[in-house]
Amino acid sequence: MDETFVRIAGRWMYLFRAVDSCGQTVDFYLSETRDREAAKCFLKRALTNPDNRAPHVFARDRLRSYPAAIRELQNEGQLRRSCRHRTRRYANNRIESDHRHVKRRLRAMQGPRTRATACTVIAGIEAVQMIRKSCVKKALHSVVLYER
């Protein structure tokens, strides 16, 4: 799990993203804040996708809102109590290098003008990257999910 910032409609927003152990994109979430509520919304949304397996380990950066969000989801029963999270410095290099595809495309188009457009464009970028990584079933599901 990791977050990066992107410019949408002239404002900086945080793009939360998660990849699995194989490098396939699990889910993404756009938020204006980088707090516990945004992290919890992102994790809840990623965990409700039926195509994804429940995680055993979270590799994350040192953002302090993730442990609080994980604890809340464990208390609500949406996440196993045995799920661990690692906070090593280079534990999530796979996702750090994966941000470049999204940021490069958004920069080339000079940023979307609305949040809805941004969600659609990012879903398309993620779908193309999933197809490139040969994960077509998840890619088609995410495109259909974000068109609604």
Q: pTM of the predicted model, to two decimals?
A: 0.78
52/96 Cα distance (integer angstroms): 20
What is the distance between the alpha carbons of residues 96 and 90, in angstroms, rounded to a whole number? Answer: 9
Per residue in 60-89, pLDDT (tens digit) is: 877 888 889 999 999 999 888 888 888 866
Give the pLDDT score at 31.
93
The answer to whether domain 2-147 has CATH 3.40.50.300 is no
Rounded Cα gap, residues 13 and 114, in angstroms: 11
Question: pLDDT tens across 107-129, in order?
Answer: 888 888 899 999 999 989 888 88
CA distance readout (Å), 69 to 82, 93, 111, 146:
15, 22, 29, 24
Question: What are the residue ranges spanned by the domains of the chain?
Answer: 2-147
More confident residue, 77 or 92: 77
